Chains A and B, each alone.
Chain A
Amino acid sequence: MDLYFPIAEMSLNVLVLLAMGGGVGLLSGMFGVGGGFLMTPLLIFSGVPPAVAVGTEANQVVAASVSGALAHWRRGNVDFKMGLVLLIGGFIGSTAGVWIFTWLRDLGQIDVVISLCYVTFLGIIGSLMLVESARAWMRSRNPGAARRKLHQHTWMHGLPFKMRFRRSKLYISALLPLAVGIFVGILSAIMGVGGGFVMVPAMIYLLGMPTSVVVGTSLFQIIFVTANVTFLQSVNNQTVDILLALILIASSVVGAQIGTVIGGKLRSEQLRGLLGLVVLAVGLRVGWDLVAVPDSLFSLGLGGH
């Protein structure tokens, strides 16, 4: 069954889209990740123009993070003060990111930059996940091995504008979460992702936040950052396809609920290793398209200068 999508300006098989949304939703439910970093490359593989894939995916992530953030908020797992500081950074970063996106699009270089970002981040994250799961597996066989110190003093604690974050039990410079927010905001605009996969490790290892509030706070700010990206992409580039987003939202929501149930029953370190493999595979595929000799040496774009 084919449907014509008005912004992507092409027809796509709805069953394939539902399967993609459901599959990515399943993974995101199992591992508690947004899934944008898998969905955008999948859309590009199926022929959707990269710019439309990024804009539409940002819109989908808004929906995915709302239901997650609400659940965490009910359990009191959101540090709103920290979320707000991250959010200010996120707004600055994503606004700059959309501006960079439009500039690269006019130069004809946006596709290759999107691909390079994906290769880099999928490669790093996939490898880290594999290493982490291997370590966890080793630890489970050899308990009592050395543990990392919970709190270490570094140059970061000498920065000005210190702020107290009660919910996270932290007293750190506001510049740190602001910088994290800006960085993730730029990625969000260029890659069409929520950025949880960068945000969560940054909150744990860089800011030292307790893991209980990390996911909820990250989801909270992702709602607003991806909403900002959706708005700016709509205004600047007209690349948000509502119909495509709706189909992906509907299927991924169902997949995520099933994934949550499955995720609770499986052993986490093996699961993490599995996700690491999936992430690496997608990264390799994107990378292969960059280095392989293309079918055509030419590409077309509309409009001139």
Chain B
Amino acid sequence: MLRRLFLWLIFSAYAAMPVGVLAAPPLVADLSSKQIRITTDFTGANLLLFGAMDGAGDVVVVVRGPRAQTVVRRKERIGGIWVNGSERVFNSVPGYYFVAGSRPLDEITDGATLDRLRIGVDRIPLELSSSTDPQDVQSFREGLIDLKQEQGLFSAEPAKISIAENRLFRVDLTFPSNVPTGPYTADIYLFRNGKPVGSSQTTLAVRKAGLEAAVYDFAHRHSAFYGIFAIVIALFAGWLAGAIFRKA
């Protein structure tokens, strides 16, 4: 219901535009929410990305999460048990990467363009930290992507964008419960005959809220007080339990 309303609003705004204005942006897009709040009952989130374009074409959407330095370790068998062996450190790995297209990506445009715009899970730039050994990087890169896909943080397959009347498009974004917090960007590209003819960017923020945020901030900003607080709570709980059950 809400989604239909959004689409209707967009469509009517678009229809009401004077012709001269229309020529300016070939594509407009927005999100059903600019914020994902991780609260106590958070089990993941779904957002709707929707928009309008000025005529037939293909749409591609890429959503990228906050970047972080990430260590990838390969397990090795030593004396019969599996131990973390050699490691590679990658700079600025996106914590989340979602990709969607109105058709299979290789039908929309050529590899060089996808490379340039860094569209697709296998085209995520994964730079090695200068301190690490560059040998055998490809297998570590694949290991990282596999794990992120398993955790639901990288798209396993490009999602499907649906287009209505060559004008409106929409796609569902899914965020699992282990989604990292921080700023996210969504890039929307319009392609015609394999060439990018327009793009738009929108942002969203994933943040812990309420009790979750309070506990997390407390633990990280005032670690010593947090430790003492945890001990006092445990002491009190232990004493209380003893007192209750002694009387009972």
Contact = CB atoms under 8 A, between A and B. Distances in A.
Given A4-B41, A67-B239, A298-B147, A305 B89 contact: yes
A242 interface: yes
A59 B234 contact: yes
A110 to B, nearest CB: 9
Interface stretch (B9-17, B78-86, B165-173): B78-86
Contacts of A242: 215, 219, 226, 229-230, 233
A9 B237 contact: no
B216 interface: yes
A245 B236 CA distance: 13
B75 A305 contact: no
User: DSSP majority for the B interface?
Assistant: helix
Interface string B194-217: 000000000000001001110110
A70 interface: yes
B43 A70 contact: no
Contacts of B246: 71
B210 to A, nearest CB: 10
Contact of B227 (A108, A109, A231, A305): A231
Given A240-B227, A291-B82, A301 B42 contact: no
Interface in B70-97: 70-75, 80-84, 87, 89
Given A4-B212, A305-B131, A298 B234 contact: no
Given A4-B41, A231-B228, A296-B150, A109 B131 contact: no
A245 B235 CA distance: 12
B231 interface: yes
B46 interface: no
Given A234-B224, A238-B219, A60 B234 contact: yes
A220 to B, nearest CB: 13
Nearest to B131: A305
Contact of B43 (A2, A9, A63, A112): A2
A63 B230 contact: no
Interface string A206-220: 000000000000000
A123 B246 CA distance: 35
Nearest to B93: A300
A70 B246 CA distance: 11
A140 interface: no
Contact of A6 (B68, B216, B227): B216
B231 A11 contact: no
B162 interface: no
A168 interface: no
A294 B208 contact: no
A294 B215 contact: no
A15 interface: no
A234 B140 contact: no
A6 B215 contact: yes
Nearest to A10: B178
User: DSSP majority for the A interface?
Assistant: helix
A188 B224 CA distance: 19
A268 interface: no
B7 interface: no
Given A71-B242, A242-B215, A298-B72, A112 B83 contact: yes
Given A3-B40, A298-B146, A304-B131, A67 B242 contact: yes
A291 B177 contact: no
B72 A300 contact: yes
A263 B160 CA distance: 59
A300 B131 contact: no
A246 interface: yes
A285 to B, nearest CB: 14
B73 A299 contact: yes
B69 interface: yes
Q: Closest 8 A-B residue pairs measured CB to CB?
A: A66-B238, A298-B143, A234-B227, A67-B242, A231-B227, A62-B234, A63-B238, A253-B241
29 contacts: A3-B41, A4-B39, A4-B177, A6-B208, A6-B211, A11-B43, A11-B177, A62-B231, A62-B235, A66-B235, A67-B245, A111-B84, A112-B84, A223-B235, A230-B227, A233-B227, A234-B223, A238-B220, A238-B226, A242-B229, A245-B230, A290-B82, A292-B82, A297-B74, A298-B75, A298-B146, A299-B84, A302-B70, A303-B68
Given A11-B42, A242-B233, 15 more contacts: A2-B177, A6-B211, A9-B178, A11-B177, A59-B231, A59-B234, A234-B219, A253-B237, A253-B241, A253-B245, A293-B82, A297-B74, A298-B143, A302-B70, A304-B71
Interface of A: 2-4, 6-7, 9-11, 59-60, 62-67, 70-71, 108-109, 111-112, 116, 223, 227, 230-235, 238, 240, 242-243, 245-246, 249-250, 253, 257, 290-294, 296-305
Interface of B: 38-43, 68-75, 80-84, 87, 89, 129, 131, 140, 143-144, 146-148, 150, 177-178, 208, 211-213, 215-216, 219-220, 223-224, 226-231, 233-235, 237-239, 241-242, 245-246
